[in-house]
Amino acid sequence: MRTIADETRTALSRRGLIAAGAAALAASWTGAAGAAETTFFQRRKLPLGIQLYSLGPDLAKELDAQLATVAKIGFKTVELAGYLGRTPAELRAAFDRAGLACTSAHVPPKGAAISFSGDLSKLADDLHVVGVKTAIMPIQYIPDRMSGVGLRDAGMQMTADDWKWNADFLNEKAAVLKKAGIVTGYHNHNFEFTPVKDAKGADTNGMEILLKHTDPSLVIFELDAGWVTAAGQDPFAMLKAHAGRFTHMHVKDIKPTTKPNFELRQDPTEVGSGMINWPKLLPAAYEAGVRGFFYEQEPPFKGARLESAKISFDYLAKVVA
């Protein structure tokens, strides 16, 4: 027979269960709210890098001092654009002193001591010394018939066959570098979107040709969001249409005054003060496969380059997405 004491214990037990359930539910709500407030880079445990081109010619003369400032700002990784007059070992030592990792490098297609047209075995060895895992061709291979033509004009004069040749070139070099443990990529400007006709007379452009004719198992792409937008293209649509192809991104902003063009023109600005919706684009890029995010800014700068880098970093470090 149940006693009053038994009933009291049962009631207390039920109250305890209800209270525990309420506490657990409240905790789950709090956790969800906390997750929603976590910044984009913290939530995904991703470092924010900087393309060293952003720092201009003085970087080579002030390498240690500027790298120390880059690290103090909060950047964790860097992307090379040339060897800055150093050997690979000297570069690695400088990055180590600053506590930075150099995971990516821009390597020209030709014309430099180290290029995609040179000794690929030496290129791979050099990049391994620095710590680089991805070698990215930052511009197209300009056909010999355009010798002396500037990058802007050459980009706009490229034919569909020229772009197809570039795709084959990337496949060939990437196959060799892959065996050496280096991933090969391509970085766009805006002239890749210049309309051209393919062999059947259909409308296309250089970027479409590169994406179509490069081997996805060999060649990745680095989306320069600023140049894509300057071309009047939609970076969201490009990422969605080619999910998995873009593994790197240049986080670059431009002013709304930028008129769509294919002529290497844009009105640059610090990230967060331009026309690109970063709280939406960053997660969209991540969902499409981007893991290497590098701030970059084109000249002219309104102040010191490192000041612009800090403004952009501070903005990106607070983006919740």
Distance CA 82, CA 99 (A): 20
Q: What pLDDT does residue 32 have?
A: 44
State how far the alpha carbon of 78 is from the alpha carbons of 30, 74, 286, 296, in Å: 36, 11, 19, 10
Of 134, 125, 133, 218, whose CA–CA distance to 169 is shortest? Answer: 218
Q: Does residue 20 sit in helix, strand or coil?
A: helix
Integer Cα distance of 50 and 203 in angstroms: 35
Average pLDDT on 296-303 reads 97
**Helix 88-98 with 120-130: angle, nearest 10 deg:** 20
Phi and psi angles of residue 30, each rounded to the nearest 5 degrees, phi first: -65, -40
- The lowest-confidence range among 26-30, 143-147, 244-248, 289-293 is 26-30
Q: Which of 56, 86, 82, 89 is nearest to 70 (CA)?
A: 56
Residue at token pair 């979107």? 193
pLDDT per residue as tens digits for the range 64-99: 999 999 999 999 999 999 999 999 999 999 999 999
Average pLDDT over residues 213-217: 98
Helices H / strands E in the chain, number of each: 13, 12
Confidence of residue 36 (pLDDT cuts 50, 70, 90): low
Contact (CB, 8 A) for 284 and 278: no
pLDDT value for 268: 98
Per-residue confidence (pLDDT) for residue 27, from 0 to 100: 44
pLDDT class of 33 with cuts at 50, 70, 90: very low
Question: With pLDDT > 70 as the criterion, what percentage of the chain qualifies?
Answer: 89
Mean pLDDT of 28-43: 68
Q: Residues 285-309: what's their mean pLDDT?
A: 98
Model confidence at 321: pLDDT above 90 = yes
| Segment holding 83, helix H or strand E | none
Mean pLDDT for the chain overall: 91
Average pLDDT over residues 199-216: 96
pTM given for the model: 0.88
CATH class of 41-318: alpha beta
Render pLDDT for 139-183 as a digit per residue (tens, 0 to 9): 999 999 998 888 889 999 999 999 999 999 999 999 999 999 999
Q: What pLDDT does residue 4 have? A: 40
List the structure tokens of 131: 């710590």
Query: What pLDDT is stored for residue 54 in this prediction?
Result: 98
> Residue 10 — pLDDT band, cuts 50, 70, 90?
very low
Mean pLDDT, to the nearest integer, of 17-46?
Answer: 62
What are the tens digits of pLDDT across the range 118-137? 999 999 999 999 999 999 99
pLDDT exceeds 50 at position 26? no
